[in-house]
């Protein structure tokens, strides 16, 4: 767990001071050193002039300077954030293609029963991460570099809150193992921040789980799905009785990851699983209707033969 910041070491607090008490806000801005020097100078001039304007020293020059500074600030903000977003994705791809880290994550999945192996535990584990390492900002990430990096590579699962029985001891065990893993990756990734490493590692774990479980599915059931078109995968899955249809079963999880890799490529596990559930229900209904129809036809044959 990261050390908690003091109340004044918070972007919201600094911005509140800048608006309601500009002189104190400007001093706090320089003491805490949130942003780069150029941005601090720009903000100091802007809020300084704004304060003078508030005191009644209104001139057309001050208003013109304020307007120029606002435009300049927005322009700089956009350039700065885009630059950091590119760097964030570059770092993520660098780690994703790092053979040593890739192998470590795969071994972690195999040996420590990763939370990505379960639909339910994936949701709950991510909720624990967000709770332990809250994202204080989202779009307004003007100078918090860590927040820009996290919001660029991490996409929070969009889930509907549902009550479900969860083994808290298992969740705690997941957290213990994951944090030990995080400490290892901090050194190898050179990310520096624990919070940043947690989100990078979690995002990498979710991505590499797609490759790992889709390959595991192919190795185990590839022969049964040979020469099957992508559009017929769910129908084929339904018709193989030996494959479990339970949402948290290993078969279903592996099949969901398989679809994420080869069919539903733009979806995360939760979205893909929800889409799969709809398709499964649809195919199961069609299967039952077909079986019902066939049973009636068989009965009709038996009646005709007996007559």
Q: How confident is the model at residue 197 (pLDDT cuts 50, 70, 90)?
A: very high
Mean pLDDT check: name the lowest of 100-104, 134-138, 220-224, 231-235.
Answer: 134-138
Q: Which residue has the higher pLDDT, 135 or 88?
A: 88
Share of residues in the chain with pLDDT > 90 (%)? 16
Output the CA torsion 170→173→175→178 (10° steps). -120
The answer to whether the Cα torsion of 40, 42, 43, 49 is positive or negative is positive
Average the pLDDT over each of 142-156, 178-192, 210-224 and give the range with the smallest value. Answer: 142-156
Structure confidence at residue 246 as a pLDDT band (50, 70, 90): confident
pLDDT at 158 over 70: no
Q: What pLDDT does residue 181 have? A: 92
d(CA 38, CA 143): 11
Nearest partner of 43 among 19, 20, 64, judged by Cα: 19
Structure tokens at 204: 């990498």
Q: Does the structure show a pLDDT above 50 at 2?
A: no
Cβ 66 vs Cβ 50: under 8 Å:
yes
267 backbone dihedrals φ, ψ, rounded to 5°: -100, 150
For 255-286, the pLDDT digits (tens) are 888 888 877 666 677 777 777 778 778 877 87
DSSP letter string, 17-38:
HHHH-HHHHHHHHHHHT-S-HH
The predicted pLDDT at position 140 comes to 46
């Amino acid at each position: 767990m990261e050390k908690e910041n003091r109340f004044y070491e918070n972007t919201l607090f600094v911005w509140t001071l800048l608006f309601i008490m500009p002189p104190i806000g400007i001093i706090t801005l320089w003491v805490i050193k949130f942003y780069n020097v150029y941005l601090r100078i720009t903000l100091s001039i802007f809020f300084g002039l704004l304060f003078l304007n508030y005191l009644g020293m209104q001139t057309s020059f001050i208003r013109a300077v304020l307007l120029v500074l606002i435009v300049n600030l927005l322009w700089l903000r956009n350039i700065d954030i885009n630059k950091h977003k590119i760097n964030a994705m570059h770092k993520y791809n660098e780690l994703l293609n790092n053979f040593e880290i890739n192998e470590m994550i795969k071994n972690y999945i195999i040996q420590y029963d990763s939370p990505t192996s379960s639909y339910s535990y994936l949701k709950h584990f991510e909720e624990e991460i967000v709770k332990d390492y809250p994202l204080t900002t989202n779009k307004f990430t003007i100078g918090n570099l860590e927040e820009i990096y996290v919001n660029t590579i991490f996409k929070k699962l969009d889930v509907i809150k549902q009550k479900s029985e969860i083994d808290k001891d298992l969740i705690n065990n997941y957290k213990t193992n994951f944090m030990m893993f995080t400490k290892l990756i901090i050194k190898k990734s050179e990310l520096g921040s624990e919070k940043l490493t947690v989100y990078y590692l979690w995002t990498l774990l979710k991505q590499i789980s797609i490759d790992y479980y889709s390959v595991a599915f192919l190795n185990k059931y590839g022969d049964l799905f040979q020469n099957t078109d992508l559009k017929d995968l769910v129908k084929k899955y339904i018709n193989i009785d030996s494959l479990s249809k339970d949402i948290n079963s290993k078969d279903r999880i592996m099949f969901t990851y398989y679809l994420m890799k080869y069919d539903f490529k733009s979806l995360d596990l939760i979205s893909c699983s929800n889409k799969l559930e709809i398709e499964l229900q649809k195919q199961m209904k069609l299967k039952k209707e077909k079986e019902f129809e066939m049973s009636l036809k068989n009965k009709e044959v038996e009646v005709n033969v007996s007559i």
